[in-house]
Structure 1
Amino acid sequence: MDRRAFLSSAAAAALVGYISGGQAAKAAPLGKVRELGVLRVAVYKDNRPWSWRKDGKLTGIDVDLAQALAKGLGVRADIAELVADESADDDLRNGVWKGGLLGFQPADIMLHVPFDRTFAARNDQVAIIAPYYRESFQFAAVKGEIDVNAPPTQYRGKRLAVEIDSIPDFYLIGTFGGILARDVVHFPGGTEAVTALTDGRADGALASRAQIEAVLHDSGATNIVRRTSPLPAFTSAGWDIGMAVKENSRNLGDAIETILADMTQSGALKAIFERHGVVYAPAVAAG
């Protein structure tokens, strides 16, 4: 999946690491969180619209969700920004069950984790829980520049923005005999690719649906159209996003899933997405 499109350095939080010795060390993970009065939540750094800094302040869908989960537990949230490693497996090790080499302390829970059976099976140090969104890729273009629902071969000669070394990048460069390779313009992330579209530096962009919707919402651009039909030969039909806790913290995971279910039923989860300009799409696994 396009993990790099969703991805920032650790926030200091000495009180939130699991302490050794004393009565708190003997408590169950959920009890420990409540005793300390803090839920340490790992989110990805520079992962707009999920977790990123605007005017120096940490914001995003996952940031708001972390606050809501902590409130549901009756504690405060300590949100730590995790720099993405080479793989999501590495991120689970750094963010949840072991910690990072640069002093990142393991979190009680990590957000924006692929909710996938195969992925979960090879990461048995954690429990992957609480799927909360269904992500997918989408193509968008400047109105009048590209027929978004036409075969992609007709995009030839247009500036096509993508995140470098991502699934959209590999698709546009390698599919259709590589005829679009020279038209691809690379950006550090998916949101930067979509921003190039709204700024007039690109004619089309292939990015995640959340990235497209958030950038269009924030920019107020009205001249962008989005493809409604599937892209031919595109291998990713979408993926569920969930959370992860340590394997021995399943009672914390159970409590989190109860809170998330209540938020889904009340509309509070949908409202978080709407605040950031993203249309809430329930995870398939949550159905």
Structure 2
Amino acid sequence: MLTRRALIGGAGVALALAAGRGSAAPLAKVKALGTLRVIVYQDNRPWSWEEGGKIVGLDADLAQAIAGRLGVRADVAQLVADESADDDLRNGVWKGGLLGFMPGDLMLHVPFDRTFAARNDQVAIIAPYYRESFALAGSGGAVALEGMPTEWRGRKLAAELDSIPDFYLTGSFGGVLAKDVVHYPTGSAAVAAVLAGQADAVLASRAQIEHGLHGAGAGRVTLRKGPLPAFTSPGWDIGMAVKENSRTLGDAVEEIVTAMAASGEMKALFARYGVNWTAANAAG
């Protein structure tokens, strides 16, 4: 990021930094500048959020780990999610956003999907690092967690608004649960509602639920063990993205992620947030 100190250092240095941050940088330029600009999502627990003026979370820690292994400083910036993940890649990686938001050298929490990658040819999607899925959690005393969803009628069911869990709960089984669904702005907020006793069960990502349970400690809320009937989402891989012309950086990041997975460092990083690390299917 172009700072006041860089400007004081001289016009030539300032121009070099500005050029380096105007487009995603390949490996040599990142090392020359000494900074890796990493884009994470805003308000995306447990992956990235702001706390005490600092960006924290799984992706924030991963950004620091990658930058450290490259021998540079991590400049972690938050991106407000747009209408689609395609828009987010444009804003976060290859073009930049409104009001001068600078694209990053690397973006985390990108869907690692062949079809998605094919229609976003301005970027290279790399380094799948986690397999995400949805899960149900609730109070066993209030909800028959292992039962059929139709048994949950009359219970408060928490879900993020306009999400796959929301569509499943409101639209499946003839819509019999639609009136029981309570909407929240994020999956993590829906999890927090169950932990606070404001809802009986929540359908959210497994990472959101595990992180919430970890923060709350042992208690009455548990996870459903069996699969949900007629639930069509088998899970998805999460990866990263660099600009298409930054393949050297992408290759280096992939080597780092592979090494972290093999050494157990990735598992340990996730465990700090109460999340059980699951390798991405595409990671082989």
Q: When the two structures are superposed, what TM-score results if normalisation uses the length of structure 2? A: 0.92
Between the aligned partners of 1:97 and 1:50, the Cα distance in structure 2 is: 22
Between the aligned partners of 1:258 and 1:20, the Cα distance in structure 2 is: 27
1:182 is aligned to 2:179: yes
1:136 is aligned to 2:124: no
- Give a deviation string over 1:127-156, Cα, whole Å, max 9, x none: 000000000000111121111111101011
Letter in 2 for 1:160: L
Q: Could you tell me how far 1:197 is from its partner in structure 2?
A: 0.4
SS of 1:243 mapped into structure 2: strand
Letter in 2 for 1:240: D
Between the aligned partners of 2:64 and 2:52, the Cα distance in structure 1 is: 19
1:14 is aligned to 2:11: no
1:262 is aligned to 2:259: yes
- Give a deviation string over 1:163-195, Cα, whole Å, max 9, x none: 011110011000000000000001110011011
Aligned to 1:7: none
Between the aligned partners of 1:140 and 1:277, the Cα distance in structure 2 is: 15
Percent identical among aligned pairs is 65
SS of 2:77 mapped into structure 1: strand
Between the aligned partners of 1:252 and 1:155, the Cα distance in structure 2 is: 49
Between the aligned partners of 1:147 and 1:20, the Cα distance in structure 2 is: 58
Letter in 1 for 2:50: R
Q: When the two structures are superposed, what TM-score results if normalisation uses the length of structure 1? A: 0.91
Letter in 1 for 2:94: W
1:70 is aligned to 2:67: yes
SS of 2:144 mapped into structure 1: coil
Provide the aligned C-alpha RMSD in A: 1.8
Q: Could you tell me how far 1:221 is from its partner in structure 2?
A: 4.2
Q: Is the 8 A contact 1:198 1:221 kept in 2?
A: no
1:104 is aligned to 2:101: yes
Q: Is the 8 A contact 2:160 2:184 kept in 1?
A: yes
1:44 is aligned to 2:50: no
Q: Could you tell me how far 1:208 is from its partner in structure 2?
A: 0.3
Q: How does 1:1-287 map to 2 (within 5 A)?
A: 13-14=1-2, 19-20=18-19, 29-287=26-284
Q: Could you tell me how far 1:18 is from its partner in structure 2?
A: 6.1
Between the aligned partners of 1:124 and 1:275, the Cα distance in structure 2 is: 35
Q: Is the 8 A contact 2:17 2:33 kept in 1?
A: no
The list of structure 1 runs, each at least 4 consecutive aligned residues, that deviate by more than 3 angstroms after superposition, is 15-21
Letter in 2 for 1:47: N
Between the aligned partners of 1:60 and 1:206, the Cα distance in structure 2 is: 21
Between the aligned partners of 2:260 and 2:217, the Cα distance in structure 1 is: 28
Between the aligned partners of 2:54 and 2:145, the Cα distance in structure 1 is: 36
Q: Is the 8 A contact 2:2 2:18 kept in 1?
A: no
SS of 2:174 mapped into structure 1: helix
Between 1:137-146 and 1:108-117, the stretch displaced more is 137-146
SS of 1:102 mapped into structure 2: helix
Letter in 2 for 1:266: S
- Give a deviation string over 1:206-255, Cα, whole Å, max 9, x none: 00000000011011141112111111111111000000000000110000
Between the aligned partners of 2:205 and 2:46, the Cα distance in structure 1 is: 11
Letter in 2 for 1:73: L
Q: Is the 8 A contact 2:2 2:17 kept in 1?
A: no
Aligned to 1:9: none
Letter in 2 for 1:206: L
Q: Could you tell me how far 1:20 is from its partner in structure 2?
A: 3.4
Q: Could you tell me how far 1:77 is from its partner in structure 2?
A: 0.1
